[in-house]
Amino acid sequence: MPVKKSRPIIQATNLTFVRNDEEIIHHFSFEVNAGDYVGVIGPNGGGKTTLLRLLLGLLEPTQGKIRLLDGSPTDRHVRRQVGYVAQRGGNIDAQFPATVEEVVRSGRTARLGLFGRSSKKDEFAIARAIDMMNIASLLGRPIGKLSGGERQKVLLARALAGEPKILFLDEPVDGLDPASRDEFYALLRKLNKEGLTIISVSHDVHTVAEEARSAICLKHQLVCHGSKACLIGEEELKDLFHKDRKELLRHHH
């Protein structure tokens, strides 16, 4: 009996984005299957964050098409199934008055009923996210008073409270100390093993080679994509990053 092929959960076709007459992303296509853990890599200014914003529906492609969970990134039913953790928590102000519990609960807002009242299912999802991130001791503290590692755990809990099918991350460990980075990546591995699709933008090529199961590499254009994405020549890598990136050559042999 033939093996059933996994259906793509993300499809980008002939994707182009132009800003102020500058072509940030040029005419490329790729697919991501459910359960994948994809690292998005490339040099600074190469289009990584722009691609993420396009996939999230925060920007509209100049040309091309994006399908997310069989819909448009801007569809309400699609947004409810997507989690997002911004770089450095979106630079939360230290004076921001929300508590950790309020921040985590806000991740459930899109799934609340007509009158915004939380159900037993909502409360269970919130409690599960808090437990998974081990942040029960932080619930009463202001989000702005947390350390970088604590804050990222809270923001990941907020994303997980919405029970997403896809989790998007933009430089999720930027600014964290080594121990916090290791803990964060361990959490991502656990979530991916449980079936969550993860798309993580990173400038840390070595970590992508170690952690992600496949990669999308771009420098305004799609350089390579897939589990064999990084098996490209050493000179090409030096041209892409303007420095030696031999770890990419070892990725998923």
- Dihedral sign for Cα atoms in the order 99, 100, 101, 106: positive
CA 43, CA 161: separation in Å to the nearest integer? 32
How far is CA 90 from each of CA 24, 97, 169, 185, rounded to the nearest angstrom? 22, 15, 11, 19
In CATH terms, the superfamily for domain 1-81+165-253 is: P-loop containing nucleotide triphosphate hydrolases (3.40.50.300)
Q: What is the pLDDT of residue 225?
A: 60
* Weakly modelled stretches of the chain, pLDDT under 50: 1-4, 114, 228-233, 244-253
CA distance 155 to 153: 6
pLDDT tens digits, one per residue of 92-123: 666 778 999 999 998 988 777 545 677 889 99
Structure tokens at 239: 């041209």
Provide DSSP, 159-203: HHHT--SEEEEESTTTT--HHHHHHHHHHHHHHHHTT-EEEEE-S
Measured CA distances, 171 to 49, 144, 205 (Å): 9, 19, 12
Q: Tokens standing for 114?
A: 């007509």
| Helical segments of the chain, H only | 48-55, 76-79, 100-106, 120-133, 148-161, 178-193, 205-211, 234-241, 246-249
Q: What pLDDT is stored for residue 191 in this prediction? A: 93
Ranges of CATH 3.40.50.300 domains, the chain:
1-81+165-253
Report the C-alpha gap between 25 and 68 in whole angstroms. 18
How much is the pLDDT for 154? 92
Q: pTM, whole model, 2 decimals? A: 0.84
Q: Rounded to an integer, what distance in angstroms lies between the CA atom of residue 158 and that of residue 111?
A: 13
Beta pairing partners, 83: 167
What is the rounded distance in angstroms from the CA atom of residue 79 to the CA atom of residue 71?
A: 10
Say which residues have a Cβ less than 8 Å from residue 85's Cβ, sequence separation at least 6.
152, 155, 156, 159, 167, 168, 169, 170, 172
Partner residues linked to 173 by β-bridges: none
Res 45: pLDDT: 79
Give me the pLDDT at residue 36, please.
93
> What SS3 state is found at 47?
coil
Burial degree of 229 (CB within 10 A; 0-12, 13-18, 19+): buried
Distances (CA, A) of 5 to 11, 13, 32, 34, 224: 15, 20, 12, 11, 22
**pLDDT reported for residue 38:** 92
